[in-house]
Structures are given as structure tokens and as C-alpha cells.
Chain A
Amino acid sequence: MFIKEKGYAHWDGELKKKKFPWMPITRYGIKLAFRKKSFRFFFYGALAPSGIFLIGIYVSERLEDFRSMIGETSRFVNINPAYFRNFLASDFLLFFLVILLLLCGAGLISDDLKYNSIQLYFSRPLKKREYFFGKVSVIVFFLFLVTLVPGLILFIMKLVFAGDLKFFASYPWLPLSIIGYSFLVTAFFSFYGLFLSSLSKNSRYVAVLIFGIYFFSHIIFQIFDGIFKNPYFSLLSIRANLQQMGAFFFNQKAPHAVSWIYSLLVLSGICVLAGFVLKKKIRGVEVVK
């Protein structure tokens, strides 16, 4: 009797490639977020502004019927690109996006770090970028549901309530603005959330950071602005930068007298930094042949 030599063997065959290998990660992330009662509460809360703005659009088409009720405030239901900017770049919606981000995004990578499961992911035929794509898609899914989807629905409803295409003819670029701004906000928050999630194994700590940095950056801006009255300090605030970009996308006057290009650079800079850190932090097991 002889004992056969046992040793490690490398698989030399061809693995069947899945078209979207990141999909299970996304599906699981979405399922996990929806399991949380608090998440569902804030998710529906984040949809509340779209309901209010939809009512505004309806009222705008029935102005005469509502004149007695709304009186002088009818200027608030003047539907134009500013109306859509006010919806998508409002303090309220951005605040809710941050809360949603900390609820669905804080644990995305930090939990994998905590339970050492990143190695498990990479023991599958999954590339680093596919892992990242799977995680980022969770955030993108939810943020699109509260920005892009209601934004486009509001636009379509305006056309439906009006019964003609005059509004579209006046602002043919508006759907692109909605899509563009929603993409920008979602891309920024996705990078921001995953970046902070990759910094710690403690998702409670990540949640505090997600909220704290967003809030803190605005406080610094307020303090400096209060003292120096220099609009360039708005570049320190995440919120102010997003709102500057909102003004650009919807062709409105910027809230701060600073070119939108600087805001874009700041936001892009944060995304680049996030990408760099994520690349360093998400490490799989290297198999040496």
C-alpha cells in the first residue's frame, strides 16, 4: 500500500463567468437594510418631500381652484427648474440622504472587516472592483429611489397634469439636469459612505463619522463665513458644495458667489481620496502560482 502524495493543487480549468457577479452582494445589502425598522422609517420619510412637491405640481395646474387657500403663496408653486432644484438640493432631502446613508452604508464594509468576511468574498471568483460595485450598488439603489426616481416622476407628472408638452418645450434639458444632479449626489455619497465604512470595524463609529463630518463641515463654513464673510469658505461644507452644484445643474443663481467648478473639484477630490483609501483597505488574499 502506498500513500498518495497530497498537496495543494491549483485549478487550471476555466470558471464559468457570471454576468453580474456583484449582484448577490447588492441583493443581500438591500435585503439587510430593509429588514431594519429604523431604515424603513427614514426611507419612507425621505420620500415625503416628493409627495409634497407632487402636490405642489398639482396645485400649480389648478391654481384658480386653490387661489382662496394659498393666496399670496402661489409663487411657491411656480413650476420651473428652480422648483426641481429646491426639491433635489434642499437641506431636508440632503439631511435624509445622510441618514439613509448611515443606516444602509455604515456597515457595508466595516461589518465585513469586523467578521473577516472580505477574504470569503475574494475566495470566490470575484474581483475587487466587483466587490466594490456590489457594495456601492446598495447605496446607489436607495439614493436613486429618493432622488432620481421621484425627480423624473415629478417631471412626468407635470406634463401629465398640464396635458401638453409646453413645459418640456420650455425646459428640454430639465430631465438631463435631474439625472445629472441625482448621479452626482449619489456618486458622492456612495464614495463618502464606503470610504468611512472602510475606516473602522465598528459600524456605530462609522455612523457617527458619516453624520459628524457632514454636519461638522457645515459648521466650520458657518463660523468662517460669519467672521470673514468670504463665500469661498462654502467650499469647506459638503452641503454647500452639493447645493452649489444643484444651482449649476438647474441653471440657477448659486447660493454662494463661488464658481461651481471649485465645488466640483472639492467633491471630486473627496471621491478620489475615497477611491484611493478603498483600494488600500479592501484587500483580498493573493494566490501565488
Chain B
Amino acid sequence: MKYVIETQKLSKWYGIVLGLSDVSLQIEPGITGILGPNGAGKSTFLKLVTGQIKPNIGTVTIMGQKVRNNYSLFSRIGFCPEQDSFYEEMTGWEFVTNLLKLYNFSHPEIEARAGEVLKIVELESDKDRIIKSYSRGMRQRLKFAQAIAHEPDIIILDEPLNGMDPLGRRKIIRLIKKYKTQGKTILASSHVLPEIEAMTNKIILIHQGMIFAQGDIQGIRDLIETHPHIVSIKCNNPVKLASEFIKKDYVLKVNFSSTPDVLLVETNNREEFFSFLPSFFVKYNIEVDEISSLDDNLQAVFDYLVGT
């Protein structure tokens, strides 16, 4: 299969800070999710792929062509940057139409495309408001709109769902999936696993500037499931709860925290643990104040995977 994006030994330093180290990848058409905790190097990777910054070592090619300063290539690329920055004095309509003017489209075509894309991201009714007055979610949708307005073959999205409400997220995810069926290549980054999971099953795990894993999402899901989780339960009868949990084989350890009514339970099967939890509460009439998973985040999973 022909790869759309290829990187060879890509490395980037910001002074003495390592941004990305020795990344060699091939990305095929379809949706590829880049997953990693904050500061992992996702944005650096996407900036290198879009030629925003120069690699210290290595190369990036898109469709076999070098990217940096190869401006004709950008007629086929749509980029949604991470930063929440705009030409604030413009309206949403002016922003999209003015950026479309930078392509070789005719005036009616620009208007038609802008109208269509603003309809897609549901900003049609707010298109004449200045961007400064937009909410965070609207700004995010506008950023997405400018990336897809010229119908690119390759769509690169840096944290595209940041700041969006659940409905907006669902809509954008549906759109991204639709583009996949059109044979486009979509590269989307996030630090939230369910977001990426909802888009694709092809992921790249990035951590501390290095590619940690690449492949099917089920693999990482399995790793997360087997990763011991600590769950904190604040309730009126932690002793009773502890005595019940200790009998279960999916519970590795039970601890009482320094706060008397808080119980810490370590499990290696989150799914089973959480499916039985409500029944315990009902059975023993336990009043619960709070349930939280102390390490239910990507950073914890990565720490577990890399053995730190």
C-alpha cells in the first residue's frame, strides 16, 4: 500500500528540551489517531508533518514530496492547529472566506464553500458575529471549518475536540469518519483515549517524544484493562466494603486512607470491579459520597507501560 505520510528518523529539540526523538512512521489513508499525554510531543510531530518547524534530524514527506516550504502541497492539506488563535476582529464568515481566497477559487465558489462548511459546523447563524465574541466550542468548530473548507485530501487535526461540548464532539467525530469513507487521510491527536477510540482503531502512542506503540487500539485497551487501578471510595461504611472486596479475586489490595471514611481499592479488572460495585452499595445499604479513580488517566497508563 502506498503511504501518504512518511517520516524517517524525525527528531526535534527546543534548545535542550527534547520535542521528538527518532520517529520513523508510515501513515496510510484512513484515520490515524495520535495519542499521548500532555507534553508527549504530539503537537511537535504535527508541526513537523505540516512543515511549521524544521526537524533537527530526519525527513518528512507527504505523497513523496518534502513538506517544508513546498507551498503547492498545501492545496491538498487541511490543518487545524491546537492554539486558540484567530484574527479576532473578523467575523466567522470573513475568516473562512478570506482564508479560502488564498486558493485559486472563484468568488462564487468561495462563498458557496464557506456557506457549506459553516453549515456543517453549525455556525451558520453566528457567521456574522466577530470571532472575539465566540465561545470556546464555537472557536474550535470554526478552526475545524477552515481546515476542511477547501476539501483537502489530507486533514491534520491537533486536539480537534478540545473545549467542545459532547454534542459538538459527536458531530465532529461523525464528520471525520465520513471523510474516511471518501478515501481521505486524517491524522488527529488527542490526550483523551475515548476521543481517539471513537474515531479510529488505528493509533500511534507517543510519549516523552518517542513513538511508544503503533497499531490497533484494542492492544492499548487491553493494556489499560490489565493495568492495576486504584479506586477511592468515600462512604459511611468503608470497613464493611473492605471486608467484601478482599474476597474478590479481581481485587489486589485494599487500603484505608488517612481520611477515616475513604477506602482505596486496587483492582486489575476495572470492568468487573465497576460492574459489581453498585450491587455492593445496595446490598449493604452504603451511602456513597464520592468515587474516583486515582490513576484513570493516560499519564498513569503510560507510566505503567514504560515501567516508571
Q: Which residues of A does B touch, CB under 8 Å?
A: 1-2, 4
Contacts and interface: CB of A to CB of B under 8 A. Distances in A.
B103 interface: no
A113 to B, nearest CB: 12
Contacts of B285: 1
Interface residues of B, number: 7
A1 B289 contact: no
A2 B236 CA distance: 12
Contacts of B288: 1
Given A1-B287, A1-B288, 6 more contacts: A1-B281, A1-B282, A1-B285, A1-B286, A2-B287, A4-B289
A1 B281 CA distance: 8
Interface string B283-308: 00111110000000000000000000
Nearest to A201: B88
Contacts of A1: 281-282, 285-288
Contacts of A4: 289
A4 B285 CA distance: 15
A194 B287 CA distance: 55
Interface string B265-290: 00000000000000001100111110
A2 B289 CA distance: 9
The 5 residue pairs across chains A and B that have the minimum distance between CB atoms: A1-B281, A1-B287, A1-B288, A4-B289, A2-B287
Contacts of B281: 1
B278 to A, nearest CB: 9
A4 B287 CA distance: 10
A1 B289 CA distance: 10
A1 B287 CA distance: 5
8 contacts: A1-B281, A1-B282, A1-B285, A1-B286, A1-B287, A1-B288, A2-B287, A4-B289
Nearest to B288: A1
A2 B235 CA distance: 12
A4 B236 CA distance: 13
* Residue from the set B281, B282, B288 with the largest chain A CB neighbour count within 10 Å: B288
A4 B288 CA distance: 9
Interface string B19-45: 000000000000000000000000000
A1 B282 CA distance: 7
Contacts of B282: 1
* Residue from the set B282, B286, B287 with the largest chain A CB neighbour count within 10 Å: B287
Nearest to A4: B289
A2 B282 CA distance: 11
A4 B290 CA distance: 10
B4 to A, nearest CB: 37
Nearest to B285: A1
B90 to A, nearest CB: 16
A176 B285 CA distance: 79
A276 B45 CA distance: 48
Contacts of B287: 1-2
Contacts of A2: 287
B131 to A, nearest CB: 14
Nearest to B286: A1
A14 to B, nearest CB: 25
A5 to B, nearest CB: 12
A106 to B, nearest CB: 20
Nearest to B235: A1
A72 to B, nearest CB: 57
B141 to A, nearest CB: 21
A119 to B, nearest CB: 15
B130 to A, nearest CB: 14
A137 B25 CA distance: 54
A1 B286 CA distance: 7
Nearest to B287: A1
A148 B9 CA distance: 59
A267 B282 CA distance: 75
Nearest to B289: A4
Interface in B169-187: none
